[in-house]
Amino acid sequence: MLLTIDVGNTNIVFGLFQENALRFHWRMASRPECTADELGAFLMTVAGRAGVILPDQLHGVMIGSVVPPLTEALIAMSRTWFHIEPVVMHVGLLKQMPVRVKEPTRVGVDRLLNALAARTNYGAPIIALDFGTATKFDVVGPDGAFLGGAIAPGFRTASDALASRTALLPRIDLMAPPAPIGDDTVSAMQAGIVLGYISLVEGLLTRIRNALSPHTPTVVATGGLAEILVPHTQSIDFHDPHLTLRGLQLVFCQHSA
């Protein structure tokens, strides 16, 4: 089995692949102070509950991280708990996808992984739309090259900022209200944040599509917050909640070939 680890600013997502199939996945909060032993103990516990014996059934570990302290802890975990030297994602591992941006080494590895997995599974041109702490629009052109994209605050991030910077506005459940005109504070905030955010997404997608014309890109959504927004727009073609893990599996296979 291959252990893939997607480290974001909000969550760490672990995935176990057997051959090309994602068999198990688990999620825990990202804490930069988390130690290798805490991470190892978590994985041993959840894998054991699923009937997986670690490290005996592992042949590799692949890490994609945007949180450097956790990267180091996970490398140490892989070495000490599983006796495996992990592969850590960087742009140089993308052997089959050109990266046509000004500073390739500064592109978040999660963006590259999403773009690669989206292109592999759904074709090109494509827009990989990741709803997380930030919302990322990552574009693969008609020839299969990564072209860059757009980054906006995540809509939970925007909601938290609104509540923390105002005296009377509460924190709210992020769900679409029954109507765009809220008749109380909560529904008005839900209209502004959730429906407003859908309009932001649809507007940016329209602009990106226009920039790719006459080609028509497919749009695939991923990320922990995607399930809230995807049902309320017709601009997204597919929802793939494990796109980043699939990207890690693809890069590991290419690296090991």
CB atoms within 10 A of CB 146: 26
What are the chain's domains? 2-88 (3.30.420.40), 93-247 (3.30.420.40)
pLDDT exceeds cutoff 80 at 172: no
Position 37, amino acid: D
Q: Which residues are catalytic?
A: 110
**What tens digit of pLDDT does each residue of 46-83 get?**
999 999 988 888 999 999 999 999 999 999 999 999 99
**What tens digit of pLDDT does each residue of 82-128 get?**
999 999 999 999 988 999 999 999 999 999 999 999 999 999 999 99
Q: Residue 208 in contact with residue 139, Cβ under 8 Å?
A: yes
pLDDT exceeds cutoff 80 at 214: yes
21-29: strand order across its sheet = 21-29, 11-18, 2-7, 60-65, 87-88
